[in-house]
Structure 1
Amino acid sequence: MYKNAQWPLTLYFDGACPLCAQEIKLLRAKASPARLLFVDISEDGFDASAVGFSLEAMQSSLHARFSDGDWVMGLDATLWSWRAAGLGIWVTPLSWPVMRPLLNLGYRFFCRWRPHLAWLPHPDGSRRCHDLQCDIAPSKPKADNSTPSSGQ
């Protein structure tokens, strides 16, 4: 695990993801720009190839880069971004070697299911609305609980 943190850490996150955006909102409120910077990979002007990755790779796992150019990804990106914001105590189990295999498994599961969580409320509801149209997850049709008439 990366031990010599060279601040600031730049965190590359998917701002279109409701859960990710909620976490970033918390980190922004706590972090100093001297320790943690944010780049939203869902913004139109973002070019993943400029930082050496494909957009798909960056969407599949959290990425962060220290000022010396070293990258951390996945759980390590989470751990170091929370440390940068002064909230490291909350994610300390991410650094326990005995817990890493289980936490990595959970993280991979979350990453696979994250795209299917777009229906969750976004902390910035306006992100879903453009040109007087809002993207809202389709609702499931209601079951028809009526009983057929008996013809009487």
Structure 2
Amino acid sequence: MKLRIFYDSLCPLCDAEMQHIKARDIGDDIELQDLNQSDFASKFPEIDFTVANRILHAQRPDGSIITGLDVTYEAWKVVGKERWVSLLRCSLVKPFADKGYLFFAKHRYRISYLLTGKKRCESGTCSR
């Protein structure tokens, strides 16, 4: 495992992106962990669910935690497709992209509804 991502599977857009990344993970280097699993707190006591539910979190093999668009960039880097998101990490763009991400994260269910017609995934209604 090169990256463990903690994500909200109930968000249609979030789930779609994670499944999109995982489909390109030929080496099985990314581990997806759903924040909504019933035993999340006992499996990952080092991750604050409330904070992770507000901003995307990931854990590297050394235990360090990264958040937000840094997770997105690193996930795409692991699967060899970081070029399309690397602009978001450039020093001039990064502050604006990070603010945009925080807006998206806060309003992800409304934005998902506008773009997909689904506000929240129910069991088995998105990618699973």
Same fold (TM over 0.5): yes
Task: Report the Cα distance in structure 2 between the residues aligned to 1:48 and 1:110, rounded to whole angstroms.
Answer: 28
Q: Does residue 103 of structure 2 align to residue 109 of structure 1? A: yes
3-state SS of the aligned residue for 1:64?
Answer: strand
What TM-score does the superposition give when structure 1 sets the normalisation length?
0.70
Match for 1:24 among 18, 34, 49? 18
Q: Which residue matches 1:8?
A: 2
Q: Does residue 50 of structure 2 align to residue 56 of structure 1? A: yes
Aligned residues: 122
RMSD: 2.4
Report the alpha carbon displacement of residue 51 of structure 1 after superposing the two structures with TM. 3.6
Q: Which residue matches 1:137?
A: none
Greater percentage in helix: 2
Structure 2, unaligned runs of 5 or more: none
What TM-score does the superposition give when structure 2 sets the normalisation length?
0.82
Give the aligned residue type for 1:14.
D
Bigger drift between 28-37 and 16-25 goes to 28-37
Structure showing greater radius of gyration is 1
Residue identity over aligned pairs, in percent, reads 26
Question: Which of the pair has the greater relative contact order for Cα pairs under 8 Å at 6+ separation?
Answer: 2
Q: Deviations for 1:17-37, whole angstroms, at most 9, x for unmatched residues?
A: 100011011111101354211
Structure 1, unaligned runs of 5 or more: 1-6, 129-152
Assess if the C-alpha contact under 8 Å between 2:104 and 2:111 holds in 1. Answer: no
